């Protein structure tokens, strides 16, 4: 044991929480706290007090318990964030505030195919050109995707709710507007799906979890509103692992379209599976720690995890207020750029969102850019190494100036309990009510157990972890000072957790297949709020390969 003096009421708080964490106890229960309870708790938090110190604690612990019980009588909805806001911006960091015109790649010649189902794997840019020129209608496209969702959704277990009435109304309106010369842009009339942690007025928002399967939130999430303003058509609310963990939800396990014996990974399970199987043209997912990167990899699609604070989370389920991010899952990088441009920016409600320009230009000046690569991660002997090494060769052939870099050397995995603590707070009432027993997964590595265990995380250690996080943010800024972006194997080293903690943006896209015939991926990471450069380089790599043009055979 490490001998330490008591520091503050913060330590008393966690001692009391730990002592009284019989999670199903009634709020009015006031157990007697004795010296032996304090001594037992010391072992949990790795500190040691003597007899007199323990005696001094008891009265304060009793007082604190009364405070906790009084606070638990308050109804605090999941949508209410804490007063403390995470800021990923390094000290003295300056950003480009000049807004310039977006420059997307010219749309290649595209014509209406003989059979409408041949459109299922067309990109957003291709579909948009057909709709803009009125060679297809939004209503035709919407009905086709709804039919595919009905046919294949049960097999993939990727659909929670079809929003058919809403979709048909939005599609008809899009066709009327376009016919009248009121074209809103490349998402006008394009059908999409939303991860079912996003509220949609008039439809259940289940969060993938049995305790909430009948929950209806009477509002549209900010992202849903922005996509409606862009003219997009919502056809389905798609599955997520219960409360954004994995691919198991209250209705089953979402399947990988490339291998139906395998889950699609999570937690944006349905968003990735439905996009990969051609059931939607694109989908909205979310990531806290890998929930866009992992299912996009498994299902062979392209995903963008934007910078923390780029996209409003109003109307989205909260899991971790300092790590949650919403982003698109698409067939191409350019599609991600189009969708991102529609959903980014402040909504006046989410105080974490910054207002910075997105100056996307698909043209890459290879002479100007320096692209880092995490040398150690590429050298690791692991599955997918050959595919990852091939990415570097493609970049060299394109003219990239590749610079080896090393990521900050900190105990990154040891900071993961930041997420656990915030998630336990987000679902505190679920734990105390005992309704966590309704969740399908009840194993050790599932939310019910994690929420309970997280009651024993000391508040002091949570704050200390976030102080260490600030050091890592500063070190990350120094690491990236000499490069414009960097590339890393998607699950190489600590990169995935590191960049979710620091808030850096990521584009994940296919880079081949493994020996079992399943897709693999590569990840590009950019500077904070510089999705424009990141997407342009990732697009250039994607255009030089054809992995994104491969689709699961059973769903063609």
Q: Is 271 a catalytic residue?
A: no
Which one of 195, 237, 253, 325 is the catalytic residue? 195
pLDDT tens digit sequence for 387-396: 999 999 999 9
* Alpha-carbon gap, residue 153 to 468, rounded angstroms: 44
- List the structure tokens of 191: 């059908």
Which one of 123, 268, 291, 320 is the catalytic residue? 291
Question: Is 524:507 a contact under the CB 8 Å cutoff?
Answer: yes
Burial of 252 (0-12, 13-18, 19+ CB in 10 A): middle
pLDDT tens digit sequence for 547-556: 999 999 999 8
The four Cα atoms 446, 268, 359, 107 give a dihedral, to 10 degrees, of 160
Q: What is the structure's pLDDT at 49?
A: 93
pLDDT tens digit sequence for 509-548: 999 999 999 999 999 999 999 999 999 999 999 999 999 9
Q: In degrees rounded to 5, what are phi and psi of residue 75? A: -95, 110
Q: Is 265 a catalytic residue?
A: no
Of 190, 194, 193, 192, nearest to 175 by C-alpha is: 190
Domains and CATH numbers, the chain: 1-74 (no CATH), 118-409+469-555 (3.90.1300.10)
> How many other CB atoms sit within 10 Å of the CB of residue 34?
12
Which one of 265, 267, 281, 523 is the catalytic residue? 267
- DSSP E strands: which ranges in 355-482? 371-374, 402-405
* Alpha-carbon gap, residue 398 to 78, rounded angstroms: 47
Q: What percent of the chain has pLDDT over 70?
A: 94
| Res 444 pLDDT > 60 | yes
Q: What is the structure's pLDDT at 480?
A: 97
Q: What is the DSSP letter of 10?
A: H
Q: What percent of the chain has pLDDT over 90?
A: 92
Q: What is the structure's pLDDT at 31?
A: 57
- DSSP E strands: which ranges in 325-419? 325-330, 371-374, 402-405
Angle (CA) 71-76-81 rounded to 5° is 110
Question: Is 253:247 a contact under the CB 8 Å cutoff?
Answer: yes
- List the structure tokens of 305: 């995890």
153 pLDDT band, cuts 50/70/90, is very high
The H-or-E segment that residue 379 falls in is helix 375-379
Q: In degrees rounded to 5, what are phi and psi of residue 160? A: -90, -50
Output the pTM of the full model.
0.93
Q: In degrees rounded to 5, what are phi and psi of residue 513? A: -135, 155
Q: Is 267 a catalytic residue?
A: yes
| Res 180 pLDDT > 50 | yes
pLDDT tens digit sequence for 359-373: 999 999 999 999 999
Mean per-residue pLDDT, 112-130: 96
Angle (CA) 412-413-415 rounded to 5° is 70
108 pLDDT band, cuts 50/70/90, is confident
- List the structure tokens of 499: 């960049």
| Res 465 pLDDT > 70 | yes
- List the structure tokens of 375: 């040398």
55 pLDDT band, cuts 50/70/90, is very high
* Alpha-carbon gap, residue 490 to 506, rounded angstroms: 10
Helices and strands (H, E) in the chain, number of each type = 18, 15
């Amino acid at each position: 044991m490490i001998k330490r003096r008591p520091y503050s009421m913060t330590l008393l708080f966690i001692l009391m929480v730990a002592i009284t964490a019989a999670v199903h106890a009634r709020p009015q229960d006031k157990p007697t706290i004795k010296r032996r309870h304090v001594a037992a708790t010391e072992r949990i938090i790795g500190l040691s007090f003597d007899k007199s110190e323990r005696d001094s604690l008891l009265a304060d612990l009793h007082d604190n318990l009364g405070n906790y019980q009084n606070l638990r009588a308050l109804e605090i909805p999941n949508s209410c964030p804490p007063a403390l806001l995470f800021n990923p911006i390094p000290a003295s960091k300056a950003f480009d505030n000049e807004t310039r015109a977006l420059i997307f790649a010219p749309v290649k010649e595209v014509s209406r195919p003989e059979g409408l189902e041949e459109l299922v794997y067309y990109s957003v840019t291709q579909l948009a050109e057909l709709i803009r020129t009125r060679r297809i209608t939004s209503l035709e496209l919407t009905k086709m995707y709804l039919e595919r969702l009905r046919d294949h959704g049960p097999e993939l277990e990727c659909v929670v709710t079809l929003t058919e009435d809403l979709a048909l109304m939005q599609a008809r309106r899009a066709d009327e507007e376009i016919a009248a010369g009121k074209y809103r842009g490349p998402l006008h009339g394009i059908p999409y799906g939303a991860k079912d942690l996003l509220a949609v007025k008039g439809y259940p928002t289940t969060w993938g979890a049995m305790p909430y399967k009948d929950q209806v939130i009477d509002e549209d999430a900010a992202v849903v509103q922005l996509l409606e303003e862009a003219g997009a058509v919502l056809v389905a609310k798609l599955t997520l692992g219960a409360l954004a963990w994995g691919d198991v939800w209250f209705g089953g396990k979402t399947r990988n379209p490339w291998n139906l014996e395998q889950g699609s990974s999570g937690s944006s399970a349905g968003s990735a599976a439905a996009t990969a199987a051609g059931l939607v043209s694109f989908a909205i997912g979310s990531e806290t720690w890998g929930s866009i990167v992992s299912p996009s990899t498994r299902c062979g699609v392209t995903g963008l995890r934007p910078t923390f604070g780029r996209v409003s989370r109003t109307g989205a389920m909260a899991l971790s207020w300092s790590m949650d991010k919403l982003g698109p899952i698409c067939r191409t990088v350019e599609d991600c750029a189009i969708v991102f441009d529609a959903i980014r920016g402040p909504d006046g409600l989410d105080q974490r969102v910054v207002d910075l320009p997105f100056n996307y230009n698909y043209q890459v000046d290879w002479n100007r850019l320096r692209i880092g690569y995490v040398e150690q991660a590429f050298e690791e002997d692991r599955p997918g190494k050959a595919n990852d090494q091939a990415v570097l060769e493609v970049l060299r052939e394109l003219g990239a100036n590749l610079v080896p870099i090393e990521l900050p050397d900190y105990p990154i995995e040891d900071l993961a309990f930041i997420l656990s603590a915030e998630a336990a707070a987000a679902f505190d009432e679920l734990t105390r009510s005992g309704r966590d027993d309704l969740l399908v997964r009840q194993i050790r590595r599932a939310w019910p157990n994690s929420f309970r265990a997280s009651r024993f995380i000391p508040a002091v250690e949570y704050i200390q972890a976030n102080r260490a996080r600030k050091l890592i943010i500063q070190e990350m800024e120094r690491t990236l000072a000499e490069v414009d972006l960097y590339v890393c194997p998607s699950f190489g080293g600590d990169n995935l957790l590191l960049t979710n903690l620091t808030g850096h943006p990521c584009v994940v896209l296919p880079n081949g297949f493994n020996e079992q015939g399943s897709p693999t991926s590569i990840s590009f990471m950019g500077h904070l709020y510089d999705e424009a450069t990141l997407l342009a380089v990732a697009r250039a790599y994607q255009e030089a390969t054809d992995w994104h043009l491969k689709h699961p055979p059973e769903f063609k």
